[in-house]
Amino acid sequence: MNYLEVQDLTVSYRTAAGELPAVRGVDLAVAPGSKVGIAGESGCGKSTVALALLRLLPASARMGGRILLDGEDVLTMRWGRLRAVRWAGASIVFQGAMHSLNAVHRIGDQIAEPILLHENATPAAAARRAGELLEQVGLPARRAAAYPHELSGGQRQRVMIAMALACGPRLIVADEPTTALDVMIQAQILRLIDQLVGEHGISMLMISHDLSVLADTCDRLAVMYAGRVVEEGPADQVFRSARHPYGAALGAAFPTIGDPASRRSPRGLPGDPPDPAAMPAGCAFGPRCPVAEPRCAETDPVLWPAGPDRAAACVRVLSDEQARGAGVPAGGAAPAEQVAAHPEKEGRTP
Amino acid sequence: MTAETEQPDRPGAPPVAGVPGTGPAVLGAAGVRVEFRARDGRGTARAVDGVDLEVRAGEIVALVGESGCGKTTLARTLLGLERPTAGRVAFEGRPLGYRAKELKAFRRRVQLVLQDPSGSLNPRHTVYDAVAEGLRIHHGSAPDERERVAAALARAGLRPPERFFLRYPHELSGGQRQRVVIAGALVLEPEVIVADEPVASLDASVRGEILALLLRLREDLGLSALVVTHDLGLAWNIADRVAVMYLGRVVEVGPVEEVLTAPRHPYTQALLSVLPEAPGRTPVVLTGEPPDPARIPGGCRFHARCQVLSSGEAERAGVADRCRTEDPGVLTSATTAQVACHYAAAAARSGATED
């Protein structure tokens, strides 16, 4: 069974301009011990999904659908249960460790706080555990006495990870854990996260606007656009050969050094995401899509099988798959390496 | 000032003729050092510790390095915002003067584009005011102000410009805000743009758009640019030359194709190896963080973290002692590929004798 299963999640915010949809029906599954990435640009709803998982959204948010954490629906949980699930069932590593840590408390006390609250530990035991956690994330235990401003950005992010591990969660949600960090520090942090989730068998949901970082870290990737998942599949395939034009644009946004095609030709995506108050008719990506067709303004595509174990929400994918004779059953497993090595052979030839 | 300089010529290096930016130097640093009092009040932090670097007419130079390597301090010094402790900054071959009048004239021609457009725009100023501000400072109320603001906005890709005049920053997307900041720099028709992390706070999809704009400005207006960044992909996307900084010094510099596809300095090699999706390289994840610029190690400043030294390769090449004791020196401002590394120099020498 999946440790996390999100079913038809919707989130809208009540604003002065009326109810604005931020997440418009998202399905996600994270198997125990697996790592799933969500990619997308600001405002696509990816961080809203992350916060919704533990009901951390502001009061103006209205949620629908189901969020099953180990089979239990987070959205209908009672407060007491929800408090128990936060930290111990799932914990979050937020972006911008500078703002997520309390500037006037020693970091050791901040790591010990959830342990004190959740495990009825004695202060001495919690402090000892905080020291162990710091060692685990590569900081000396004596740094527990430091204040956040005494640490570098990378060290603060390590503290955030130690906090997230404090109560032994089975799922870690990492929201842009390495954004704003230098490449070398980013590599250190990604390595650390990878090693820790591997050692403890923790599942992970990682959120980023950088598809290359997610492809490097995660097993599976979901690309979000305007509140929906528009592409989903094995991480490497989504990154290298996206089927949805938006997925392809995100993948091309960060160049591969040495690739002559991207030399002196940065690739972006013109335009801005749609205003949630005025969604375009048909496909939400249509107005920015480099390969849009007239029918895109009429049909609002849903996720459709787009090769073994993959799905994409694009009418072109739908016609391609139909032309191949049949929809490929989702979940049909092909060895990822093989497919990655022969991207042109993806999908199953009838 | 300049110690011994390792400048082995790269065999088979392509000729530089025809490459953008082979013209005269527009903006340059010669032997620039910038020192600050260290944070704990004891000693001095050598933020920039001897740098020679020039940006030529129509050239885009990327200055890359990690936080704290001194790249932003060097950029601020080139803009006249910081006075070098030693060495000098030159604009069009003449030393930069630091009298208010001289600086004002200089800053019309060399414009700064800051990172984080949300922070560098006044939330209470309209787009029009934000772009016109520079004009008003330098020209008072110019009769053609409206036309010039419109032209700058259009150049920055905000079209039709009139539609943006009365907007406030919060009404714009991140990419549009960055375009407004760039328009504010363009309105004075500068010769050089110094951009500090112009895309670091932008979404992946917008990143390419802004970089394409910088390239287009170079083509259309012949602008030179120094782009300060920690993003090596940015250098690959737009720069002609790249200078890699570590702890106050440029440790490797040269044409982008050479430095990024065949890096010779172990630090550059490590940086490139840890990029996500780096093709076919074993990641070299350096431990720890760069040392404090108040305590720059002796010998080669990178030696304590150097993977070539710690693996024993430098020892086998017979340069390990020099790595620990001898400063590889300051690279020159020439446009050829250069590296400040004893091991790379030894490798180039033995390569040359084998040929």
Query: Which chain A positions have a beta carbon within 8 Å of B213's beta carbon?
Result: none
Question: Which pair of tokens denotes residue A154?
Answer: 């990378």
Give the C-alpha separation, B275 to A75, whole Å.
38
Contact yes or no for A252 and B208 at CB 8 A: yes
Query: Crossing angle for the helix pair B204-221 and B145-155, nearest 10 degrees?
Result: 120
Give the C-alpha separation, B248 to B129, whole Å.
37
Give the C-alpha separation, B323 to B305, whole Å.
11
- Provide the pLDDT for residue A183: 87
Give residue ranges of B with CB < 8 Å to any A CB: 66-67, 173-176, 200, 203-212, 215, 230-233, 236-238, 256-257, 260-261, 270-272, 274-279, 283, 285-287, 289
Question: Which pair of tokens denotes residue A12?
Answer: 């809208």
| Secondary structure class of A127 (helix, strand, coil) | helix
DSSP letter, residue B311: T
B23 to chain A, minimum CA–CA distance in Å?
19
| Residue A304, beta-bridge partner list | A312
Among B179, B203, B307, which would you mutate to test the A interface (most chain A Cβ atoms within 10 Å of its Cβ)? B203
Contact yes or no for B277 and A191 at CB 8 A: no
Contact yes or no for B67 and A182 at CB 8 A: yes
Contact yes or no for A216 and B200 at CB 8 A: no
Closest residue by Cα to residue B228 from B63, B80, B66, B115? B63
Query: Which chain A positions have a beta carbon within 8 Å of B277's beta carbon?
Result: 212, 215-216, 239, 256
pLDDT reading at B100 higher than 80? yes
Query: Which chain B positions have a beta carbon within 8 Å of A97's beta carbon?
Result: none
A210, A215, A262: residue with CB nearest B236: A262
Domains recognised in chain A with CATH numbers:
4-223 (3.40.50.300), 247-270+282-331 (no CATH)
Q: Summarize pLDDT for A124-148 with one digit per residue, the tens.
A: 999 999 999 999 999 999 999 999 9
B258 to chain A, minimum CA–CA distance in Å?
10
- Domain ranges for chain B, please list them: 121-188, 265-354
Is the CB of residue B192 less than 8 Å from the CB of residue B225?
yes
Query: Crossing angle for the helix pair B266-273 and A183-200, nearest 10 degrees?
Result: 50
Half-sphere exposure of A203 (CA within 13 A, CB side): 20
Could you tell me how many CB contacts below 8 A there are between chain A and chain B?
A: 116
Question: Which pair of tokens denotes residue A326?
Answer: 């049949």
Give the C-alpha separation, B200 to B234, whole Å.
10
Q: What angle do CA A299, A300, A302 make, to 5 degrees?
A: 120
Give the C-alpha separation, A242 to A308, whole Å.
13
- Provide the pLDDT for residue B120: 82
Is the CB of residue B323 less than 8 Å from the CB of residue B342?
yes
- Provide the pLDDT for residue B286: 92
Query: Which chain A positions have a beta carbon within 8 Å of B270's beta carbon?
Result: 184
- Provide the pLDDT for residue A99: 74
Give the C-alpha separation, A312 to B16, whole Å.
46
Question: Which pair of tokens denotes residue B162?
Answer: 């009139």
Question: Which pair of tokens denotes residue B115?
Answer: 């990172």
Contact yes or no for A258 and B279 at CB 8 A: yes
Give the C-alpha separation, B274 to B78, whole Å.
30
Query: Which chain B positions have a beta carbon within 8 Å of A264's beta carbon?
Result: 215, 237-238
A42 to chain B, minimum CA–CA distance in Å?
7
- Provide the pLDDT for residue B351: 78
Residue of A nearest to B218 (CA): A264
DSSP letter, residue A278: S
Alpha helices in chain B (DSSP H): 71-78, 100-109, 117-120, 127-139, 145-155, 174-186, 204-221, 232-238, 256-261, 266-273, 307-310, 313-316, 320-325, 342-354
Strands, sheet with B192-196, edge to edge from the N-terminal-most edge strand:
B110-113, B192-196, B224-229, B60-64, B241-246, B249-255, B338-339
Contacts of A41 (CB under 8 A, 6+ apart): A209, A250, A273, B203, B204, B205, B206
Give residue ranges of A with CB < 8 Å to any B CB: 41-42, 152-154, 180, 182-188, 191, 209-213, 215-216, 239, 249-250, 252-258, 262-270, 272
DSSP-assigned states of every residue in B105-169: HHHHHEEEE-S-HHHHS-TTS-HHHHHHHHHHHHHSS-TTHHHHHHHHHHHTT-SSGGGGTT--G
Give residue A175's identity as a one-letter amino acid code: D
- Provide the pLDDT for residue A96: 67
Q: Summarize pLDDT for B3-57 with one digit per residue, the tens.
A: 434 344 433 333 333 455 567 899 999 999 999 987 777 789 999 999 999 999 9
Contact yes or no for A183 and B66 at CB 8 A: yes
Contacts of B147 (CB under 8 A, 6+ apart): none
Question: Which pair of tokens denotes residue A189?
Answer: 């942090």
Contact yes or no for A268 and B286 at CB 8 A: no
Confidence of residue A325 (pLDDT cuts 50, 70, 90): low
Give the C-alpha separation, A284 to B18, whole Å.
45
A185 to chain B, minimum CA–CA distance in Å?
8
B328 to chain A, minimum CA–CA distance in Å?
23
Give residue B337's identity as a one-letter amino acid code: A
- Provide the pLDDT for residue A319: 82
Closest residue by Cα to residue A32 from A202, A200, A168, A233? A202
What would the mean pLDDT of B180-206 be, rounded to a whole number? Answer: 90
Question: Which pair of tokens denotes residue B217?
Answer: 């400005």
Q: How many residues does chain B have?
A: 355
Residue of A nearest to B66 (CA): A182
A154, A239, A269: residue with CB nearest B205: A269
Contact yes or no for B66 and A191 at CB 8 A: no
Confidence of residue A97 (pLDDT cuts 50, 70, 90): low
Q: How many residues does chain A have?
A: 350
pTM of the model: 0.86
Contacts of B20 (CB under 8 A, 6+ apart): B58, B59, B60, B218, B240
Query: Which chain B positions have a beta carbon within 8 Å of A186's beta carbon?
Result: 274
Query: Which chain A positions have a beta carbon within 8 Å of B200's beta carbon?
Result: 180
Q: Summarize pLDDT for B213-260 with one digit per residue, the tens.
A: 999 999 999 999 999 999 999 999 999 999 999 999 999 999 999 999
Higher pLDDT pick, A334 / B343: B343
B8 to chain A, minimum CA–CA distance in Å?
23
Is the CB of residue A53 less than 8 Å from the CB of residue A74?
yes
Q: Average pLDDT over chain A, rounded to whole? A: 88
- Provide the pLDDT for residue B175: 87
B201 to chain A, minimum CA–CA distance in Å?
8
Contacts of B197 (CB under 8 A, 6+ apart): B115, B116, B228, B229, B230, B231
Question: Which pair of tokens denotes residue A182?
Answer: 């230098």
Q: Average pLDDT over chain B, rounded to whole? A: 88
Residue A75: Cβ within 10 Å count: 15
Question: Which pair of tokens denotes residue B327?
Answer: 């400063």
B25, B96, B232 from B257: Cα distances, Å: 21, 32, 12
